[in-house]
């Protein structure tokens, strides 16, 4: 089984799981194009189900697993999530959004504070 995203005018509108030969007989007259996406791809890398990086990176497709309202950038051949905060910038290599300040590297939980441009601890 494979995952596919329906892209209409650069925006993902639907995700389905189907056999790869499904589109040979599938009749879809709605606007848009179906593009394969990889459930285990994030930041341009493919991961195994246990979360470790896969030794077979040929399975990494289109930088990130697509989601509803993601954009599909044809020049990057990448699915990009909606921008979470105005201050964040897109990493053109991973196609992931990055905060202007690196998140803490300890085991704590943090939320981004857009007003103060800081990571606030969550208790």
Instruction: Kindly state the average pLDDT of the residues 31-60.
Output: 94
Helix (H, G, I), strand (E, B) or coil at 72: strand
How many structural domains is the chain composed of? 2
Residues 93 and 78 in one domain: no
Domain that holds residue 105: 83-123
- CB burial of residue 95 (10 Å; 0-12, 13-18, 19+): buried
pLDDT reported for residue 26: 81
pLDDT reported for residue 22: 83
Q: What confidence tens digit (pLDDT) does each residue in 3-44 have?
A: 999 999 999 999 999 987 887 788 888 999 999 999 999 999
Q: Are 63 and 86 in contact (CB under 8 A)?
A: no
Residues 23 and 77 in one domain: yes
pLDDT reported for residue 24: 77
Residues 73 and 96 in one domain: no
| Residue-wise burial string across 54-91, b where 16 or more C-beta atoms lie within 10 A, e elsewhere | eeeeeebbbbbbbeeebbbbeeeebbbbeeeeeeeebe
Quickly list DSSP for 91-120: ETTTTEEE-SSPPP-SS--EEEETTTTEEE
Residues 67 and 89 in one domain: no
Residues 21 and 60 in one domain: yes
Residues 66 and 8 in one domain: yes
Question: Residue length, the chain?
Answer: 123
Q: What confidence tens digit (pLDDT) does each residue in 61-95 have?
A: 999 999 999 999 999 999 999 999 999 999 999 99
Residues 99 and 39 in one domain: no
Show the tokens assigned to 74.
């044809």
Residues 66 and 77 in one domain: yes
Residues 29 and 57 in one domain: yes
Inform me whether the pLDDT recorded for 110 exceeds 90.
yes
Residues 100 and 50 in one domain: no
Residues 111 and 97 in one domain: yes
pLDDT reported for residue 1: 86
Residues 49 and 18 in one domain: yes
pLDDT reported for residue 25: 80
């Amino acid at each position: 089984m494979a995952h596919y995203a329906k892209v209409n005018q650069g925006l993902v509108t639907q995700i389905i799981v189907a056999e790869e030969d499904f589109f040979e007989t599938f009749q879809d007259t709605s606007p848009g194009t179906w593009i394969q996406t990889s459930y285990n791809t994030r930041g341009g890398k493919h991961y195994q189900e246990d979360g470790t990086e896969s030794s077979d990176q040929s399975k990494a497709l289109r930088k990130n697993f697509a989601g509803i309202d993601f954009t599909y950038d044809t020049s990057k051949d990448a699915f990009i999530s909606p921008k979470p905060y105005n201050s964040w910038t897109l990493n053109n290599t991973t196609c992931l959004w990055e905060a202007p300040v690196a998140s803490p590297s300890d085991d704590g939980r943090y939320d981004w504070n857009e007003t103060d441009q800081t990571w606030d601890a969550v208790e």
